[in-house]
Amino acid sequence: MVEENKRGSFGSNIGFLLSAIGSAVGLGNIWGFPYKMGKSGGFTFLLVYLALAVFVGFAIMLGELALGRKTGYGPVNAYKAITQKKGFRWIGWLAIVAPFLIMTFYSVLGGYCIYYIAINLIGLCTGTMPDSSSFGAMLTNPWLSIGIMVLFMVICFLINLGGVDGGIEKFNKIGMPALFVMLVIIIVRAWTLPHASEGLKFMFVPGYAVKGGFIEEAPGVMSVLATAGGQMFFSLSLAMGAMITYGSYLDKGENLPKNSVIIVIADTIVAIMAGLAVIPAAVANGIAKGIPVGDIKLGGPSLLFATLQDVFHDMGAIGGIFGTIFYILVLIAAISSAISLIEAVSVTFIDRASAKGHETNRAKVLAIVCLVITVLACLVAADGLGSNGIAPKDIFHIDSKADWCADWLDFMDTWSEGIAMPLGAMLMSIMIGWQIKPKALYDEIGSGYKGKALGFWSFCIKFICPIVMFFVLLVQVSSFFGLGWF
Ligand code: PHE
């Protein structure tokens, strides 16, 4: 049983990189980034996003990886090991609660992907392609939604059970290149649809969202900044314990700054590529059907499971092939993120047991973590994005249009992405920048690295990150609770 007690590690740097990129590349890239980019200023948004990714994303990513590798622990124990200050030692728990809550809806969305692969395959075989009406039918069928969510959780559980190198790394080494190839296939198909260029203009031309009739009013500067900031740290899997955990599995000889840069760049490239695939297709199909562009749903779950399914439906029999490829691609993105979230939650209990000298049974911890997530996810699944009358606002008779009570998915998202993530990232940068001081991590960052990024990193983590994250926190609270501060 000695093997079971051993902490895992990545077998190679490329395995680590693909796993970290896998964690970053997720539903946030596919349905969040392209739409937010189009709506919030096209190319201008991209520049703002890149600046934030360089000054904040890179700095927090490097901080998390260094924290994990230096302490050799997941989030909770890493904070305990690095700081003596009581006020900071609890932050790690935020990085447990957040991924746990995210998993309660990520698993439901992952389940939807499995279902969509199935209906597209069936459509391919029978020649009758499903359309967007499948979405409503699925949402209003709680048992179906629960069943596919459980299936998704079982798949993730089995991958995590395989261990860090035998499960997570293996999956990502195959999954990430496959995702890339499939994305290219979908881009080529999307671009050859008539009117596809309207979608590209929406995404890239500054101000085209308003000019082209996609939205009525251009968002203000503050709102663009906040949208980019929120998207950036969710997309990069920051403040979720995931990168601390993966860092703790990384060999001491590997170059952390270089790895951080690669993860940030790869995640951004995939987000743009996802946009190049989904937006032109959705817009082209909408225009061909005579739908006013302002009414085409270009973001959120309905982009993936309604708008795009109509695109595949309208392609005829061949749509089954593209539909199947597309939903497999989204499923891979969802799984590679989910397994990092499950690992981030589980590692804490594995580490705690071994720190106390107890036998740690990875399988048992994973089973319990996955089971608890599954139980809570049943609520999100049965709710069907608020379709079945059990949303928080229905149960508690709340008369509000705010996101936090609209449905259980948004409720979980509010406390995780809306509050725990920005709060955690802000407190982490304050702790590294002002309490333990950046120098405390210099030796860690320096091992395997001889460049001059240390000064730049210290400056970002001390000054830029806390300010930006405080601002992102305010905006998230305002938007999730419908307070209209910005
Ligand atoms: N980065 C993932 C996405 O873009 C979500 C995620 C957040 C995954 C935090 C792990 C940790 O969808």
Alpha carbons 241 and 100: distance in angstroms, whole number: 10
CB 433 less than 6 A from any atom of ligand 1: no
- Reported as a single tens digit per residue, the pLDDT across 142-158 is 999 999 999 999 999 99
Tens digits of residue pLDDT in 37-52: 988 989 899 999 999 9
Q: Are 146 and 112 in contact (CB under 8 A)?
A: no
Please tell me if the CB atom of residue 60 comes closer than 6 angstroms to any atom of ligand 1: no
Contact partners, residue 260, CB within 8 Å, separation at least 6: 58, 61, 62, 65
What is the CA(213)–ligand 1 centre distance, in A? Answer: 31
Distance 231 CA to ligand 1 centre (A): 10
Question: Ligand 1: does its nearest atom lie under 6 Å from the Cβ of 29?
Answer: yes
Residue 358 has pLDDT above 90, yes or no: no
pLDDT: is 360 or 281 the higher one?
281
What are the pLDDT digits (tens) for 310-325? 999 999 889 999 999 9
Residues 31, 109: Cα–Cα separation, whole Å: 12
pLDDT at 6 over 80: no
Q: Is 379 exposed, middle or buried (0-12, 13-18, 19+ CB in 10 A)?
A: middle
> How many of the other CB atoms lie within 10 Å of CB of 415?
16
**pLDDT higher than threshold 60 for residue 2:** no
What is the chain's mean pLDDT, rounded? 93
- Would the CB of 241 count as within 6 Å of ligand 1? no
Average pLDDT (279-295) is: 94
- Of the candidates 114, 115, 98, the residue with the CA atom closest to the CA atom of residue 155: 114
Rounded CA gap, 438 and 6, in Å?
30
pLDDT above 90 coverage of the chain, percent: 82
Nearest C-alpha to atom 9 of ligand 1 is from which residue?
237
Region 441-465: mean pLDDT is 88
Rg of the chain, C-alpha, whole Å? 22
Phi, psi of 124, deg, nearest 5: -65, -40
Summarize the chain as % helix, strand, coil (round to 5).
Answer: 80, 0, 20
Per residue in 202-259, pLDDT (tens digit) is 999 999 999 999 999 998 888 888 889 989 989 999 999 999 999 999 999 999 999 9
For residue 170, pLDDT beyond 50: yes
Measured distance CA(26)–CA(413) in Å, rounded:
15
CA 459, CA 466: separation in Å to the nearest integer? 11
Is residue 26 in contact with ligand 1, taking CB distance under 6 Å?
yes
Q: Is the pLDDT of residue 294 over 80?
A: yes
Residue 1 has pLDDT above 60, yes or no: no
Ligand 1 contacts CB of residue 336 (under 6 A): no
Residues 298, 302, 305, 308, CA torsion sign: negative
Nearest Cα residue to 75 out of 91, 61, 63, 60: 91
- Helices 319-355 and 142-161 pack at an angle, to 10 degrees, of 60
Query: Could you give the C-alpha distances from 428 to 64, 82, 230, 341, in angstroms and in order?
Result: 9, 11, 16, 18
When pLDDT is cut at 50, 70 and 90, the band that residue 3 belongs to is very low
Burial profile 106-120: b = 16 or more Cβ within 10 angstroms, e = fewer: bbbbbbbbbbbbebb
Residue nearest to atom 6 of ligand 1 (CA): 237
Length of the chain as a residue count = 486
CA–centroid distance, residue 192 to ligand 1 (Å): 31
The answer, yes or no, to whether any atom of ligand 1 lies below 6 A from the CB of 275, is no
Distance 91 CA to ligand 1 centre (A): 19
> pLDDT tens digits for 72-85?
999 999 999 998 88
Using the mean position of ligand 1's atoms as its centre, give its distance from the Cα of residue 57 in Å: 13
Reference 273, options 21, 476, 20, 57; nearest CA is 21
Q: Which atom of ligand 1 is nearest to the CA of 242?
A: 11
pTM: 0.95
